[in-house]
Amino acid sequence: MTYSNSILAIGALILCVPCSTYAEDTSDTLVHERATVTMSEGLQLAAYVSKPATASAPLPAVFFTQAVACYSIAPNSARVAMEERVAAASNHALIRLERSGTGESEGPGCNALDYDTEVRHYREAFDQLSTHPWIDRDQIVIMGSSLGSTTAPLVAQGKPVAGVVVQGGGALTYFERMLHFDRLQLERQPEFRPEEIDAEMRRRMEFHRHYLLGKMEPAQIEVQFPALAGVWQSLLGTDEAPHYGRPYAWHWQAAEQDWLSAWATLNVPVMVVYGEFEQFESRHGHRVIVDTVNRLRPGTATWLEIPHAGHGLRIYPNALFAYAWEGGESHPDLFVEPVSEWLRKIEPRGAE
């Protein structure tokens, strides 16, 4: 499986669980309503608000920020999204925004959508959708998945949120995150050559310095620094132009973010979920959120580590099987049950 294809697969793995096993658990219990939100530049984006079918009064809600991969979040009877299972299990409403150019949303495609614009769209959608009659606006929790875990604390800034829960993304700098991606690739790929890792990592560090911090395009780097020729082609996600299917600007802007400071400002309950065999983000990247928040506001951050789980929350025999995306089994209850329990304990914003 190529990395770009695996990124799409990851989105699907996080997004849904085997429908033959779990469809009956949520397909008849959630109802969905399509909404339209208007962005400040005039684009109209599709959004979806869901709730348990039996609910009559406004409900606490989960506002979902999705992974980097460009896929639709529209409700689909052929699959059960993980966030839908969480909403059903916790008796929450669910708010999802269809990104620019995806599904029924107007605008440039997700492959042209930069990081800052994506965050702004989420924030503007939050303001509009929090007034939906199905939503208790004092009990909205933001849930971030994968790189949506980095947008989640930014979306929450200055917003009346009741909590934030993330999985598959941390709060190290994007530069550090990408170097960790590279390190895992070299250590866990089938062509394992430990004697070459040190030299190759030095080349990649130099390349990322120019690419992420210097905002240079790969072709420019190879012209100005011939010794770095070939590095781009060896990096994860470069087989789908430009990078993971997102524009260079998305990555340059991500590299400018101070995610840890964003987490430090959130005076709300926080939950961070990490899979033991995570293929991309480091454990430290996840853990630093919990440790920072609890140091500032003791007891307000909750840590959940799922044994043998990978980035898409499947359970693998070991880390090498996880990195190869082989032998994974779906056990969504390991995520859904503790996250739902945590959500049910969140008090309305401003409650004493």
User: What is the CATH number for 85?
Assistant: 3.40.50.1820
Is there a domain that residue 95 lies in?
Answer: yes
Number of domains in the chain: 2
Structure-block tokens of residue 105: 């949303």
Whether residues 295 and 246 share a domain: the answer is no
pLDDT at 202: 98
| Domain end (from 253, 278, 302) | 253
Whether residues 151 and 295 share a domain: the answer is yes
Cα separations in angstroms, 233 against 219, 252, 272, 279: 11, 18, 33, 20
Whether residues 66 and 199 share a domain: the answer is no
For 2-48, the pLDDT digits (tens) are 444 444 444 444 444 433 333 345 556 899 999 999 999 999 999 99
pLDDT at 240: 74
Whether residues 221 and 135 share a domain: the answer is no
Is there a domain that residue 350 lies in?
Answer: no
Whether residues 310 and 333 share a domain: the answer is yes
- In this structure, is the dihedral angle defined by the CA atoms of residues 154, 146, 125 and 163, taken in order, positive or negative? negative
Is there a domain that residue 25 lies in?
Answer: yes
Residue range(s) defining the domain that contains residue 226: 174-253
Structure-block tokens of residue 320: 């090498």
Which residue, 149, 184, 165, is CA-closest to 282? Answer: 184
Whether residues 268 and 241 share a domain: the answer is no
For 159-195, the pLDDT digits (tens) are 999 999 999 999 999 999 999 999 999 999 999 999 9
For the entire predicted model, the pTM comes to 0.92
Three-class secondary structure of residue 26 per DSSP:
helix
Whether residues 145 and 220 share a domain: the answer is no
The β-bridge relationship of strands 163-167 and 135-145 is parallel
Whether residues 89 and 233 share a domain: the answer is no
Whether residues 23 and 112 share a domain: the answer is yes
pLDDT at 351: 60
Whether residues 139 and 267 share a domain: the answer is yes
- Estimate to the nearest angstrom the gap between the alpha carbon of 134 and the chain centroid: 25
Return the CA Rg of the chain.
20
Whether residues 151 and 249 share a domain: the answer is no
Residues of the chain with pLDDT under 70: 1-28, 350-352
Whether residues 205 and 325 share a domain: the answer is no
pLDDT at 29: 86
Is there a domain that residue 134 lies in?
Answer: yes
User: In angstroms, rounded to a whole number, what is the distance separating the alpha carbons of residues 46 and 106?
Assistant: 8
pLDDT at 5: 44
Is there a domain that residue 351 lies in?
Answer: no
DSSP secondary-structure letter at 99?
P
pLDDT at 348: 75
